[in-house]
């Protein structure tokens, strides 16, 4: 029976490249000369942590990171900025969480949307993805195009198309 999976994944190599480009830009910019601004990437927790002396520099760093990620083709819906917090020693810290996989609530919203669309497909939540099956490949392709027109809070990709 034809099927495909709906997932939300990031190309971690592209994220790494974007972070490295952002680091180089921050190191080379005149307004960051002599500052203790730094960008770290915790690959285990899927978060980017950066700190600087003031809110202007914090805003500049976050916009540099998002700009570099956008230019590398990373969907910015996957970046969740958290609040700026004091880091001690007159510095501020901010985290950007990278969203990987579909959370249960988002998966339920996707399944509900598919069922409400009245297409002859069967969506099923499987861990951090949604599998959609149907007797017709045309129905599956119509489901994909219908989902693309919606604005879900995470980037969606479609893979494992089987006929």
Picking from 95, 107, 1, the residue whose alpha carbon sits closest to that of residue 48 is 95
- Distance separating alpha carbons of residues 152 and 111, to the nearest angstrom: 12
Q: Alpha-carbon torsion 145, 74, 52, 48, what sign?
A: positive
Q: Give the chain's mean pLDDT.
A: 92
Q: Where do the domains of the chain lie, and which CATH numbers do they carry?
A: 3-8+101-162 (3.30.70.860), 12-98 (3.30.70.990)
Reduced to 3 states (helix: H, G, I; strand: E, B; else coil), residue 136 is: coil
pLDDT given at position 51: 93
Interval 8-14 mean pLDDT: 93
Q: Are 133 and 121 in contact (CB under 8 A)?
A: yes
Does the pLDDT at position 144 exceed 90? yes
pLDDT given at position 145: 92
Interval 2-27 mean pLDDT: 94
pLDDT given at position 92: 93
pLDDT given at position 162: 84
- Distance separating alpha carbons of residues 161 and 5, to the nearest angstrom: 7
Does the pLDDT at position 25 exceed 90? yes
pLDDT given at position 146: 93
Q: Could you tell me the pLDDT band of residue 127, with boundaries at 50, 70 and 90? A: confident
DSSP code string of 28-95: H-GGGTT---EEEEETTTTEEEEEESSHHHHHHHHHHHHHHHHHTT--GGGEEE---EEEETTEEEEE
pLDDT in tens, 64-85: 999 999 999 999 999 999 999 9
Specify burial of residue 141 (Cβ count, 10 A radius: 0-12, 13-18, 19+): middle
- Distance separating alpha carbons of residues 122 and 136, to the nearest angstrom: 11
Interval 134-162 mean pLDDT: 91
The percent of residues above 90 in pLDDT, for the chain, comes to 82
Interval 123-138 mean pLDDT: 92
Does the pLDDT at position 35 exceed 90? no
């Amino acid at each position: 029976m034809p099927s495909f999976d709906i997932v939300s994944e990031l190309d971690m190599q592209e994220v790494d490249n974007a972070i490295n480009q952002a680091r180089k830009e921050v190191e080379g910019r005149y307004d960051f000369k002599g500052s203790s601004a730094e960008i770290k990437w915790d690959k285990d927790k899927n978060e980017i942590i950066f700190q600087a002396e003031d809110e202007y520099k914090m805003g500049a760093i976050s916009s540099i990171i998002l700009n570099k990620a956008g230019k590398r083709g990373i969907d910015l819906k996957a970046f969740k900025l958290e609040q700026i917090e004091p880091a001690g020693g007159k510095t501020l810290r901010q985290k950007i969480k990278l969203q990987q996989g579909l959370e249960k609530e988002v998966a339920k919203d996707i399944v509900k949307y598919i069922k409400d669309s009245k297409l002859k497909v069967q969506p099923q939540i499987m861990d951090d993805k949604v599998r959609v099956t149907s007797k017709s490949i045309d129905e599956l392709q119509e489901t994909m195009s219908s989902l693309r027109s919606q604005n879900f809070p995470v980037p969606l990709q479609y893979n494992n198309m089987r006929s």
